[in-house]
Amino acid sequence: KNQVEQSPQSLIILEGKNCTLQCNYTVSPFSNLRWYKQDTGRGPVSLTIMTFSENTKSNGRYTATLDADTKQSSLHITASQLSDSASYICVVTWDNAGNMLTFGGGTRLMVKP
């Protein structure tokens, strides 16, 4: 069964600190992996997308890594801000056409002043 597992489920950090969120997947075949940020009551917003051959991708203070051999990805947030408080969802695409996504349950991040 295709699965995407994220850890931790929730995380509280102080403003200005860094944090790393983890994503393990058993999805096969693998097409690409995406990280989304979802504010409460809003739809997910794309942060990064990585294909099989990419190991790292940055978007401002967000850096995603991918190890396709171990089927692991991480999202590193640098110098956190209060506005980073949200759910971060790891999503794996398992068809070449990019139509079939498997979502992780998300990590709920809270940044405190």
Binding stretches for another protein (CB under 8 A): 4, 31-32, 34, 36, 41-46, 49, 51, 89, 91, 97-101, 103-106, 108
For another protein, give the closer residue by CB, 15 or 31. 31
CB 20 to another protein: min, Å: 19
Q: Which of residues 42 and 112 has its CB atom nearest to another protein in the complex?
A: 42
Q: Kindly state the smallest distance separating residue 14's Cβ from another protein, in Å.
A: 24
In the bound complex, what is the minimum distance in angstroms from residue 16's beta carbon to another protein?
A: 27
For another protein, give the closer residue by CB, 9 or 113.
9
> Where are the strands (E) in 1-113, listed by range?
4-7, 10-14, 19-25, 32-38, 45-51, 56-59, 62-67, 72-77, 86-93, 101-103, 107-112
Closer residue to another protein in complex, CB, 75/106: 106
d(CA 28, CA 58): 25
Distances (CA, A) of 77 to 31, 52, 85, 105: 24, 22, 11, 19
> Look-up: residue for tokens 């944090």?
19
